Chains A and B, each alone.
Chain A
């Protein structure tokens, strides 16, 4: 072989080799010099994990500041970290077998968190110890499975205030979108209803985090730092847990009693509200049917959830509007006294009915004979209040009803809020029926209104104007009879029937205002918010919505009448005899078309120096005194120191 040719070829081979090395070094330079940042970030995401540490939610305490209505207890949770391993489906399958859930659910949850691969996904919480031990035994087959201890909601005194405290659950997609800026993550819990929702921002703690280094199997290798979680703030409620318990249990007991022992088989729901008359602090608030919020601390089967929804257990009936029946009569009495139309001592004869365009019967068909105002309240005389109502007129009655907050939102600190209710007036009736008109007729009505508005404005004489107004009335009546207000509407409203609808909360506050001399306080459930170190964050002092423009004498007469309700001859006679203080009350029996009457009662005590006011409604519970009275009794009994022993209230002997 010729030496020169060999050299030449060796040179070419050298050239090729240089090309190869140049290519490799070029690529290395690209990766290591120009793409360092990208790959450094990727390496860090590989091995650094920020493991969030849940902060315990604030606790919810009764008004004594000690009794926990809602607390936290530690439970085991199982999470899965996406390791980028091929066998994730197998791990999911194994884990699902141990947890006894559907593996598809795990995969779905993992997929939902695709964008934050390095964060563990919570698979199950409140996992029993045996399951945890089983997972520990199979540790090697379950790479990426983490077991953590996390706080969940606990209800040490039982489910006595479910409609007040509400519940928490994992945040859903819509909420996450809404709360994103506040740092919520897909696994976080959030208050859904009740105080848990209303005070979410206070109750939620600030989550901490642990930065750890993990190996390729997701096993923590080293702790790199920790940020401690800050527990949420505690709520100190206005609720008295003893009264609350009596209210919740009394309501349930009474409804069960009505169903089992009386003809009122449809008595299936009800509500009770008790307030402190001098502050508007809610002492008890219960609604029936109810639910146990502990169902939300563990896996909730879909069927259970649907069943709860179907039974409408989440509706807070204390904030739903009901016709009040005779409980409204005090408003008529107050309006009559304030306008001077009623002389409290004047006796009216009750033949058992009164005329309001049509004949309206008294509930006692034989009539009550001669009654004055106090007795009219005591026996709940329809004739007395119906007759005077016509004389007082609907506008004055409505004016005084508004003074006491009836038919208006009072602003209680609960989610979702209250129903407004309906205080019937000619205007509300007109609006309501106009809404119900078919579109064609409504248009016709609007044209007529427009026409008469101009005509009346152009009318030259007073007489002409009145004639036009009469004609307008007639035209409206021709379109629909119900667009007009009649005397029997006034009569119905005075007796708390017809379109009247008020919430038990309104009735309790109205009763409290009568009891305290006319001050309508804003009802509230939280007295104070304190942080986890016990420092006050916010204090809620009594807030006055309205001071009723009513003289003390007027209210004194009304209170005397209400005191006599529980006396012999009253509609709630003997019912409160064992309470150590005198009780004043007013019963209500609201007629429900085609069904059993709603039973209602409003009461306050002590009658001579009121502290507490309570309102109760039992749907289709029959007569107010017997249907709703026992619930009010239990609330007052608990408030005045009674103990329920073997189904009987026992009071400490003085």
Chain B
């Protein structure tokens, strides 16, 4: 049977590392949602082992359920040989565009942006799944153009391929996720053999243009037009000086850094962080869950978590160069680019070196869509790895 060989050839280091991160995250979520003061003062909240608020375990249980769903979907993905996928890429690409359009027209608004679609009792974020779809379709797109990516002219179709869905996501508006697509695009382009100097020039030039545009805007806010609202600009740049608005836009960044900084080397102990437990930390089980680790488990905890992430990413890279074909290699590269970018932006945000964009930490932030997407991404990696070429000595 084909499938038995596949199961034997899975990357178990990757799988176990992912499971460790998930386990770690469940503890962090338990702590982040653990409420010191019971809502109803008269009624003591039921405590497990004397510390864990059972009422608050709701989140942990939901996350656990999502993990299992994620593992199931991952297994499903592994079973369908990735080499057959190119057949469906055109359909996938169109479905993706339709989903993103649907968000704009029938999506649910939250926090000033439309990112959610409700299907029955479920709400999900199409832009999450869009990342995977784009990785698959773009991998196929590039596989056919490998070696023909040396001039701007040759790169333009690739930009258009990515640019269309990005435009739709920007309309939600979701700047963070759009940037993920650029990361995926550049990572995969590089791996596909695009001229590195050209790519570097484009990234550097683009950065320079953005920077000077913003600079001009700050010098002359009334005259220089930017495609963003003032409040968006403020949110994007507040991390440079959070004390400009310590109670408003800067609040998250300041409180997060206080949490992490006050954790020190060993941390204050799980369930013991004052920033977390007393709710000074905002969004502490989703976007800012890394701050909980920083506060309660200290430098040792954060480095341990980053080390686990590094193993995941590193296995991704290994898979990318041990893939049987270019398509597989590009798939792995897309996944790696996506996850590294998420880690960089999310952790960077909590330590104050990246703008607040609301990108979740893979396998760690509470939330079903993100868990599912990342599990699918791991499924893609495993699929490629299990069908790798045999080393011939």
On A, residues with C-beta under 8 Å from B are 1, 3, 5-7, 9-10, 12-14, 16-17, 20-21, 23-25, 27-29, 31-33, 35-36, 38-40, 42-44, 46-47, 84-86, 88, 213-217, 219, 221
Contacts and interface: CB of A to CB of B under 8 A. Distances in A.
Contacts of B333: 13
B37 A46 contact: no
Residue of B146, B259, B261, B314 contacting most chain A CB atoms (<10 Å): B261
B182 to A, nearest CB: 15
A31 B191 contact: no
A216 B262 contact: no
Contact of B262 (A17, A29, A40): A40
A271 to B, nearest CB: 56
A215 B274 CA distance: 8
B59 interface: no
A24 B191 contact: no
14 contacts: A1-B329, A10-B318, A13-B190, A24-B306, A28-B303, A33-B299, A36-B265, A39-B261, A40-B261, A47-B275, A47-B280, A84-B247, A215-B278, A221-B37
Contacts of A86: 247-248, 251
Interface string B297-310: 01100110010011
B262 to A, nearest CB: 4
Contact of A213 (B259, B278, B321): B278
Interface in B310-350: 310, 313-314, 317-318, 320-321, 325-326, 329, 333, 336, 340, 343-344, 347-348
B282 to A, nearest CB: 9
A144 to B, nearest CB: 13
Contact of B294 (A20, A32, A213, A221): A32
Candidate in B278, B279, B314, B353 with the most chain A CB atoms within 10 angstroms: B278
A85 B246 CA distance: 9
Contacts of A23: 344, 348, 353
Given A13-B191, A28-B303, A215 B261 contact: no
Contact of B146 (A1, A29, A43): A1
Given A36-B264, A40-B264, A84 B258 contact: no
B168 interface: no
Contact of A10 (B264, B320, B347, B353): B320
B367 to A, nearest CB: 21
B187 interface: yes
A46 B261 contact: no
Contact of A39 (B262, B302, B309, B353): B262
Interface in B186-227: 187, 190-191, 193, 196
Contacts of B298: 32
Contacts of A14: 314, 317
Contacts of B313: 17
B368 interface: no
A85 B263 contact: no
Contact of B260 (A1, A12, A39): A39
B278 A221 contact: yes
Contact of A43 (B147, B258, B310, B325): B258
A13 B310 CA distance: 13
A25 B303 contact: yes
Given A1-B147, A36-B261, 9 more contacts: A1-B193, A20-B343, A23-B353, A24-B343, A24-B348, A27-B348, A32-B265, A216-B278, A221-B36
Contacts of A9: 190-191, 193, 321
A432 B190 CA distance: 102
A1 B351 contact: no
Contacts of B265: 32-33, 36
A221 B352 CA distance: 29
Contacts of A42: 258, 261-262
Nearest to B267: A32
Given A28-B302, A43-B262, A215-B279, A6 B321 contact: yes
Contacts of A24: 306, 343-344, 347-348, 351
B247 A85 contact: yes
A17 B317 contact: yes
B257 interface: yes
A549 to B, nearest CB: 76
A217 B280 CA distance: 9
Contacts of A12: 190, 196
A47 B294 CA distance: 18
Nearest first, the 10 closest Cβ-Cβ pairs linking A and B are: A39-B261, A43-B262, A10-B321, A215-B278, A32-B299, A216-B279, A39-B262, A31-B261, A36-B264, A47-B274
Contacts of B348: 23-24, 27
Contacts of A5: 193
Contacts of A17: 310, 313-314, 317, 336, 340
A21 B259 CA distance: 20
A453 B87 CA distance: 128
A215 B260 contact: no
Contacts of A10: 191, 317-318, 320-321
Nearest to B266: A32
A32 B247 contact: no
Residue among A5, A12, A14, A27 with the highest chain B CB neighbour number at 10 A: A27
Contact of B310 (A16, A21, A39, A44): A21
Contacts of B306: 21, 24-25, 28
Contacts of B294: 28, 31-32
Interface string B244-257: 00111001000101
Contacts of B309: 21
A42 B255 CA distance: 9
Contacts of B352: 27
- Residue picked from B274, B299, B318, most chain A C-beta under 10 Å: B274
Contact of A46 (B187, B280, B321, B325): B280
A24 B293 CA distance: 14
Contacts of B343: 20, 24
B263 A13 contact: no
Contacts of B279: 215-217
A28 B299 contact: yes
Interface in B228-247: 246-247
A29 B303 CA distance: 9
Contacts of A1: 146-147, 193, 325-326, 329
A35 B262 CA distance: 8
B360 to A, nearest CB: 16
B275 A46 contact: yes
A29 B336 contact: no
A29 B299 contact: yes
A20 to B, nearest CB: 5
A213 B37 CA distance: 12
Contact of B321 (A7, A36, A44): A7
Contact of A28 (B246, B258, B260): B260
B263 A32 contact: yes
Contacts of B278: 46-47, 213-216, 221
B92 to A, nearest CB: 23
Contacts of A216: 278-280
A32 B290 CA distance: 13
Contact of A13 (B264, B274, B299, B317): B317
A16 B203 CA distance: 14
A221 B274 CA distance: 11
Interface string B36-61: 11000000000000000000000000
A6 B309 CA distance: 23
A88 B247 CA distance: 10
Contacts of B255: 46
B275 A43 contact: yes
B351 A27 contact: yes
Contacts of B264: 32-33, 36, 40
Contact of A27 (B262, B274, B314, B353): B353
Contacts of B329: 1, 6
A12 B343 CA distance: 18
B244 to A, nearest CB: 14
Nearest to B273: A43
